[in-house]
Amino acid sequence: QKEVEQNSGPLSVPEGAIASLNCTYSDRGSQSFFWYRQYSGKSPELIMFIYSNGDKEDGRFTAQLNKASQYVSLLIRDSQPSDSATYLCAGGTGGFKTIFGAGTRLFVKA
């Protein structure tokens, strides 16, 4: 069974802090990884993707991938209350199926 595991949270951080979201995956064939943000009652929105080991930065977001450890993370710097959402980690093997984690709920306290 291919799985992507995340801590469901909630993860609570103060405004301005760094939020660190983590996930692990079981399928070594996974080639690409994605972070989707989902606000309550809304649809998922892709915010980051990463294919290679190392870090990838986009604005306040940094995705990190360690294929040897089968570990993916998302760092959100200078967290804002508007970042409060559920963050879904997802992995793909190149086919049409994306394996989603259960999501981590993030609360950023003003």
Nearest distance, CB of residue 21 and other proteins, angstroms: 14
* Closest to 23 measured CA to CA, from 1, 50, 42: 50
78, containing H or E segment = none
Using the minimum distance from each CB to other proteins, give the nearer residue, 49 or 71: 49
Nearest distance, CB of residue 44 and other proteins, angstroms: 5
Nearest distance, CB of residue 103 and other proteins, angstroms: 6
Using the minimum distance from each CB to other proteins, give the nearer residue, 43 or 69: 43
Q: Are 25 and 70 in contact (CB under 8 A)?
A: yes
Cis before 10? omega within 30 = yes
Residue ranges in contact with other proteins by CB under 8 A: 31-32, 34, 36, 42-46, 49, 88, 92, 94-98, 100-103
Using the minimum distance from each CB to other proteins, give the nearer residue, 7 or 17: 7
Give the span between the Cα atoms of 57 and 19, in whole angstroms: 14
Inter-CA distances, 79 with 35, 60, 70, Å: 16, 8, 26
Q: How many CB atoms lie within 10 A of CB 58?
A: 10
Nearest distance, CB of residue 4 and other proteins, angstroms: 9
Using the minimum distance from each CB to other proteins, give the nearer residue, 31 or 80: 31
